[in-house]
Structure 1
Amino acid sequence: MKAYGQALQVETCGDRPARLIWRGRTYPVGAVLDEWRFGGRWWLGERSRSCFLVQAGALTAELQREDGPEGRWWLARLVD
């Protein structure tokens, strides 16, 4: 997997990702392969987050959503 750490736009269905928009292209999420919680490195001020391993078109990606009112989404890693 290649690390990215880039913010991206994700459309959801409930609390799960349904579609992601990355580099100007839309990728529908066909399957959520795994999901877990990460508590964050509290000593660095990181928020906890929800993590998802998804199959979205030709992409297999790890997406993360920070807890909190903004709920920012990140592309953490892609399978290359």
Structure 2
Amino acid sequence: MKAVQQTITVSLTAAGELQRMVWAGRAYPVQGVLDQWRYGGRWWLGEAPRTCYLVQAGELIAELHHEDGGKIWWLARLVD
């Protein structure tokens, strides 16, 4: 896996499911969530807990993170 650590734009369906991610000016439709897990964050550094997703988005397999209660999504890693 290749570390990326960049903020991205994520669109959700009306039901709250991942629909599309936009990274580097290109839109990738999310075809499926391969895995989902919770990460408690490094509380000693003030990090908020987050939900993490491993998704198939277009030709990418990407790990996305979303902090609880926040609007910021980021692309953590890509499978290379």
Task: Give the letter for the 2:60 counterpart.
Answer: L
Flag as ranges the 4+ runs of structure 1 deviating above 2 A.
13-16
Map 1:40-59; keep pairs closer than 5 Å. 40-59=41-60
> Structure 2 CA distance, aligned partners of 1:47 and 1:16?
21
For structure 2, the 5+ residue unaligned runs are none
Map 1:1-80; keep pairs closer than 5 Å. 1-13=1-13, 14-68=15-69, 70-80=70-80
| TM-score scaled by length of structure 1 | 0.93
| TM-score scaled by length of structure 2 | 0.93
What SS does the corresponding residue of 1:43 show, helix, strand or coil?
helix
Identity in percent: 59
Deviation at 1:33, TM superposition (A): 0.2
What SS does the corresponding residue of 1:8 show, helix, strand or coil?
strand
Deviation at 1:78, TM superposition (A): 0.1
**How many aligned positions are there?**
79
What SS does the corresponding residue of 2:44 show, helix, strand or coil?
helix
Task: Give the letter for the 1:53 counterpart.
Answer: L
Task: Give the letter for the 2:66 counterpart.
Answer: R
